[in-house]
Amino acid sequence: MVEATRWLEELANDEPVLDHTDAIFVEQVLRAAAESHRQEAHELNYGARVNEDRLRLGYRRLLARFEADVSAFERKRYVNLSHEPNKAMNLNSYIALLGQSWRRVQRPDGEHLVAAGEERVDLVVPDATYLITLDADSLLVPSYALRLAHVLEEPGNERVAVVQTPYSAVPGAGGALERMAGATTDLQYIVHQGFTHHRATFWVGANALIRRTALHDLASVDDERGFIVTRYIQDRTVIEDTESSVDLIERGWQLVNYPERLSYSATPPDFGSLIIQRRRWANGGLIILPKLLRHLLRRRERSRGRGEGLMRVHYLTSISGANLGLLALLSYPFSAPKAAAWVPIAALPYFFLYARDLHQAGYRYRDVVQVYALNLLLVPVNLAGVAKSVHQGLTGKKIPFGRTPKVEGRTRVPSRYLVAEVALLAYWSMGCAWDVADGQWTHAGFEAANVALLTFAIGRFIGWRQLVVDLLPSRWVRAGSIREAENSPLTAVEPMAA
């Protein structure tokens, strides 16, 4: 144990810390593991209850720490596996291989992966009772699997399919946009704990521990390019984790959020990459909504599930409802005194609770102003995601998975979003002027506040200079200085560990 502690501390000291993500890896992974071994060494040396079982457990922990096998799997290398460009089929392809031996066969159309039987074995995929899904930009603390597996093993939790800790933003971000965008995801950590209280948990795909037998309950067989593929997780939308949550509860499974921060994920550092992430998050909820409503209407104990139903419907419709509702409030002048009075009555409790949750998540109370300003900036982005859902619902054509860029450099903001921001600012400004002329002072004040905050958000989170640069044709911009947000890779590369 002492040697393990020393080795991990040396590794932490030698690890280059270039940003806040590196810092949390060193502290939460390397140094936390070193401290765990240090405490165990002290207990073994000075503890009063050291017996053979305790020593055997300590040895197993050391063996597991230093004897881990690392392997990689690339599904598109094989012709007969799915080539769909989305994260769900990454997971499905690997899950279908679990517990079997495989061999590679070269055929005229390329390399195939077939069951080995008693013949030559090229790939052995171990079986697993539980699976961990993990995005490429996420970090797990060392005790993640142990704690969450304990939840699934507890008596009474036999029908819990997914246990997760909704990820937190990596703390210590230097940029204003990354910090405030991280605040919005940190608030979701609190919200999702409330979902679990009402038995309305949704699987959040950045990380989760999943019971494999639950996934087999979801299995369906489809034909893709003439090959049979098994789908455990539906890839109908780009938020496959959300639809899988509905599929699981339809089959009597439960999902649970663990009330402790055990995972961290990177937040997009610039507005161009944030657009890709948030547009994807806004896309799919309306497509899944009919499936959820059918389930809620079929369930027997409707009265006991009203809270759950309300929470689940809210989760799927909140992005479209909140953004369309805000546009309606800013577009329709509420001239009646009673109608005007409802604005502060509704807004003050909302901002008070929002600020309180921000403070509980480690932010300042006044950050609620910047978070609201960022949400205004994201209105066109969210509505674009909602529009994609409507388009898919009408045409039946799946939307490709838009991967959030995870490379250095600034992502260029598509000009149509910048035009939408400027148009929104101009429209609200003119509306404010018209309300002043008509004597609609309450609505004018409401619009003026939103105009001021949107102006602040553009300057703070995009930058007026960057806005002008991104509005210019690409050929006028120095090559290599920025990336095109619309041309970012669409193929998901987030791996799955079993």
Q: How confident is the model at residue 131, as a pLDDT?
A: 95
Q: How confident is the model at residue 490, as a pLDDT?
A: 35
User: How many CB atoms lie under 10 A from the CB of residue 272?
Assistant: 25
User: For strand 410-412 and strand 482-484, is the pairing parallel, antiparallel, or unpaired?
Assistant: parallel
Residues ≥6 apart with Cβ < 8 Å to 120: 103
**Which stretches in the chain have pLDDT values below 70?**
47-48, 300-304, 334-340, 402, 405-408, 474-498
Cα distance between residue 125 and residue 212, in whole Å = 14
DSSP string, 384-448: HHHHHHHHHHHH-PPPPP-PPP-SSSEEEPPHHHHHHHHHHHHHHHHHHHHHHHHT-HHHHHHHH
Task: Using alpha carbons, select from 151, 150, 263, 156 the residue that is nearest to residue 204.
Answer: 263
pLDDT of 161-213, one tens digit each? 999 998 889 998 889 999 999 999 999 889 999 999 999 999 987 899 999 99
DSSP string, 205-216: TTEEEEEHHHHH
For residues 254 and 305, is the Cβ–Cβ distance under 8 A? no
Q: How confident is the model at residue 291, as a pLDDT?
A: 94
User: How many CB atoms lie under 10 A from the CB of residue 350?
Assistant: 11
Q: Hunting for tokens 């789908």 — which residue is that?
A: 231
Cα distance between residue 8 and residue 31, in whole Å = 7
- The count of residues in the chain is 498
What type of residue is 348? L
Cα distance between residue 450 and residue 443, in whole Å = 11
Task: Using alpha carbons, select from 13, 58, 23 the residue that is nearest to residue 38.
Answer: 58
Q: How confident is the model at residue 17, as a pLDDT?
A: 92
- Give, as one character, the DSSP assignment of residue 113: E
Cα distance between residue 148 and residue 163, in whole Å = 6
pLDDT of 388-415, one tens digit each? 999 888 888 887 776 776 666 788 899 9
Strand partners, 412: 484
Cα distance between residue 361 and residue 125, in whole Å = 40
Give φ, ψ of 472 to 5 degrees: -75, 155
Helix or strand holding residue 154 (H, E): none
Cα distance between residue 419 and residue 457, in whole Å = 15
Cα distance between residue 368 and residue 147, in whole Å = 33
Residues ≥6 apart with Cβ < 8 Å to 399: 237, 238, 283, 388, 391, 392
Cα distance between residue 486 and residue 48, in whole Å = 63
Cα distance between residue 343 and residue 327, in whole Å = 14
Structure tokens at 186: 């940190």
